[in-house]
Structure 1
Amino acid sequence: MSGRPSTSSTPVAHNALPPPSTTSASRSSRIAPHSHIKGLGLNPEGYANVDSAGFIGQTNAREACGVVVDLVKSRKFSGRALLLVGAPGTGKTALALAISQELGTKVPFCPMVGSEVYSTEVKKTEVLAEAFRRAIGLRIKETKEVYEGEVTELTPTEAENPLSGYGKTVSHVIVGLKTVKGTKQLRLDPSIYESILKEKITVGDVIYIEANTGAVKRVGRSDAYASSYDLESETYVPLPKADVHKRKELVQDVTLGDLDAANARPQGGQDIMSVMGSLMKSGRTEVTEKLRKEVNKVVKGYVDQGVAEVVPGVVFIDEVHMLDIECFTYLNALLESPMAPTVILATNRGNSLVRGTTDIVAPHGIPIDLLDRCLIVKTDSYTTADVAKVVQVRANVEGLKLGTGVLDKLAGEGDRSSLRYALQLLTPASILATIAGREQIELEDINEMGSLFIDAKTSASSITTSETYLS
């Protein structure tokens, strides 16, 4: 192929600079460790499909999580938690992400690690309470009088500036809106014209303007302007079917954590001293229990009126054994709260000392009274065939081609050391193959990566050997 150096018998140095990209549309999106997980991969009866939705194996764990999803959807999982236990790299975080995707994209998902509670700015219990509040959504529904349609005209009218004899100012703006049923011409305040400019609205956009507040919202571009490109940076929406002037139900999603934060940080003045004072304040504000009760009272009022709906989300605490006895006690109280979200815990420890104590040894480092509230799901270790399938899925997600024998080699490395080590060799090996002018990863690339980067077991044994020799 032109533009690529030919493969030669001389070895290419691993620290050589890669050749410049020949395509302008090269893939630049970031691929996360769990980009391939799309859900639990269950059939309508609740049984796990083989190698579905990005999951390889873990049939029992996926089916158990499917039962939990059904319990959450039927609002019968309150007061309990799901505990995922298993060796490192067996898919505990992937299962938690899959549960959140099964519950829906609008359901809040708040992941954290057990060590996050040890903050120098706020108390440990405050960090936990904040995570729980961020995982409880509030869906606010309002019926408002709006003008909605496709913009057909946008004409600002200027007049002499009354404050000075120089320059002109916008006195009003004429906006034409069109729907399937008809058109309407609006004469609007100049302040609304500023909102239109801020939203970057042009002729052909579908917008709505709230009649009471004058707030302007751009919905998208009218689909009459849609092109036939495969990739579009624009969102196209159909032309509204109702009248231009109508009553419309608007839905807004916030979390209780957002409401707490908004009320905990009162806005100061606009002078320079107020601005400097806000800059000097700590980045995190501790929310008092009194303020949370006031927010809950307002939220309850909205729910009773039928204006809002509480949407319990998911709190995922990875490495939960890092919490101490005080945090576990507080977790018990949070789980008993009437507005508790779904709680998923994960750990890779067996019997271990409960942090913050000197004599309490418990399964997974979690006190028995909290364990009694948990449904425990175990993740299984992967076989060599499973490792090969996982490596192939990740190669497909990252757009990598594997040569003959590469998959078997990586599967063997994963079985000998760990799945994560096998996956970590993929991308560096692809860089080496690109430098050598190959379009796919070959065995020699994997072998060289294995000599450059060793796995954890080999590293630990080499240190132990050297210590024995020195002693």
Structure 2
Amino acid sequence: MAKSLGLETPFAMIAASELFSLEMSKTEALTQAFRKAIGVRIKEETEVIEGEVVEVQIDRPAAAAAAPKTGKLTLKTTEMETVYDLGAKMIEALAKEKVTSGDVIAIDKASGKITKLGRSFSRSRDFDAMGPQVKFVQCPDGELQKRKEVVHCVTLHEIDVINSRTQGFLALFTGDTGEIRAEVREQIDTKVAEWREEGKAEIVPGVLFIDEVHMLDIECFSFLNRALENEMSPILVVATNRGITTIRGTNYKSPHGIPIDLLDRLLIISTQPYTEDEIRKILDIRCQEEDVEMSEGAKHLLTKIGVETSLRYAIHLITAAALACQKRKGKTVELDDINRVYNLFLDVKRSTQYLMEYQSQYMFSDTGEADEDDANAMVS
């Protein structure tokens, strides 16, 4: 889903149990998840000097500490040529980027950042051999100074974190964001609204995916109800594998463990179990991915196991069967290997059956057949 949305549309994914952490409240964790799924595309106009370096001349004074370095930089396009005087900072930046004559560079006027675009085609015969990383570009045409529009894509959550503390950038990388005050968020929302009116920014609502949604409690559901009414809310996708079950935090039962009023706002996508052919295809792909050679008979048996038990159990058996085959120094997984691991590792149905057979031998069994003497002995 995230792949098909493309790079610029934000996609945030959380598991419902993540919200119940000790560091922050549930509503704060949900708010952060929502704001991670809302992107802001900020347009910015910058002045750029772009041209081919004709000459870099740096004058270093004899005594190192006596005077700062000075220098001149000659840049040209197809139509004009200009000499720029350089300060100490720019000389450092040029040295860091290893700019030499013949390079095509772009200098951001606001920040002084130098970007090496490549080497000019006219200087391609300077050397007999060049590394594969050398990129040749045409000498820029027109004027040296140009206005360029740059587009930055960030999420509201990133803006929140950077503005909520002094070392906001570091907090973004470490993931230690902590709770963010409501005032900070209000100020940011106001600013983003201003940028939208001025045409500087564009809001890109993304997708928030919540897995195991039945793990949320009634407070989280009521928060979701309110958050979805916001004009900037992302598309919410929730996943669950529960039938009619209790809503956490209440004594009421409802389908999927989601309150009826929230369920009414959702579009429900029904899913069908895989057919035998589909299970076979999935197992074929899985064998290829895991580099497991398997005979036709073994694949057929594994497909039957997948139909009777579950696809996940059948996929787990691939690795186990490959190890069993390796142990007997075989190259291809045969029927015997599948049989061996099928007998060693139980699926849910067989495990349940086993428990019911030997229930009385386990602790806290529900049969009530445990001897009263044993119970009295444990109490005393």
Please classify the TM superposition score into its range, dividing by the shorter chain length.
0.7 to 0.9
- Identify the match of residue 215 of structure 1 among 99, 113, 119: 113
After TM superposition, list the pairs within 5 Å mapping 1:63-82 onto structure 2. none
What is the TM-score of this pair, normalised by structure 1? 0.64
> Who is 2:20 aligned against?
118
TM-score, length-scaled by structure 2: 0.77
Largest Rg, 1 or 2: 2
Whether contact under 8 Å (2:33, 2:208) holds in the other structure is yes
Task: Give the corresponding residue for 2:309.
Answer: 417
Matched residue of 1:303: which SS?
helix
8 Å CA contact retained: 1:111, 1:317: yes
Q: Count matched residues.
A: 352
Question: What displacement does 1:163 show?
Answer: 3.6
Judged with a 3 Å threshold, the aligned counterparts in structure 2 of structure 1 residues 417 and 295 are, in CA distance, closer, same or farther, namely same
The whole-number CA distance in structure 2 between the counterparts of 1:109 and 1:332 is 20
Q: Which residue of 1 aligns with 2:208?
A: 315
The 1-side partners of 2:326 and 2:280 are apart by 23
Stretches of structure 1 lacking an aligned partner (at least 5 in a row): 1-97, 226-231, 269-274
> Residue 410 and residue 158 in structure 1: after superposition, are their counterparts in 2 closer, same or farther (change >3 A)?
farther
Deviation at 1:254, TM superposition (A): 0.6
Q: CA, structure 1 residues 116+447, in 2 after alignment: closer, same or farther (shift >3 Å)?
A: same
User: Secondary structure in 2 aligned to 1:191?
Assistant: helix
Q: 1:454 to 1:430 in 2, by over 3 A?
A: same
**Distance across 1 between alignment mates of 2:276 and 2:327:** 30
Alpha-carbon distance, 1:394 to partner: 2.8
Aligned pair in 2 of structure 1 residues 282, 378: CA closer, same or farther (>3 Å)?
Answer: closer
Q: Distance in 2 between matches of 1:450 and 1:195?
A: 65
**What's 1:265 paired with?**
165
Equivalent pair of 1:156/1:170 in contact (CA under 8 Å): no
The answer (yes or no) to whether the contact 1:122–1:286 under 8 Å persists in 2 is: yes
- 1:137 corresponds to: 39
Check conservation: 2:50, 2:140, Cα contact below 8 A.
no
C-alpha separation between the residues in 2 aligned to 1:106 and 1:419?
A: 34
- 3-state secondary structure, aligned to 1:378: coil
* Residue type at the aligned position of 1:346: A
Change (3 A) 1:178 1:447: farther
3-state SS of paired residue (2:267): strand
User: Of residues 214, 224, 244 in structure 2, which corresponds to 1:331?
Assistant: 224
Identity %: 39
Q: Deviations over 1:3-44 (max 9, x none)?
A: xxxxxxxxxxxxxxxxxxxxxxxxxxxxxxxxxxxxxxxxxx
TM-aligned CA deviation for residue 190 of structure 1:
3.4
Q: CA shift at 1:410, angstroms?
A: 2.2
The 2-side partners of 1:391 and 1:264 are apart by 49
Q: Which structure 2 segments of 5+ residues have no match?
A: 125-130, 363-369, 371-380
Shift of residue 333 of structure 1?
1.0
SS at match of 1:375: coil
Does structure 2 retain, via aligned residues, the 8 Å contact 1:221–1:234?
Answer: no
Cα drift, residue 214 of structure 1? 0.4
Q: Secondary structure at the match of 1:459?
A: helix
Do the aligned partners of residues 134 and 438 (structure 1) sit closer, same or farther apart at CA in structure 2, a change above 3 Å counting?
A: same
Deviation at 1:193, TM superposition (A): 4.8
Partner of 2:277: 385
Partner Cα separation in structure 1 for residue 288 and residue 119 of structure 2: 34
How much is the aligned-residue C-alpha RMSD, in angstroms?
A: 3.9
The structural deviation recorded for 1:459 is 3.3
* Contact 1:421–1:455 (CA under 8 A) maintained in structure 2: yes
Deviations 1:304-335 (A, max 9, x none): 11111111111000111111000000001110
More helix by share: 2
- Asked if the contact 2:161–2:177 (Cα under 8 Å) also holds between the matched residues in 1, the reply is no
Q: Does 1:295 align with 2:183?
A: no
Q: Which residue pairs with 1:79 in the alignment? A: none
State the distance in 2 between where 1:423 and 1:132 align: 34
* CA shift digits 1:126-173 (9 cap, x unpaired): 000000101111111112111346778777653346646xxxx98256
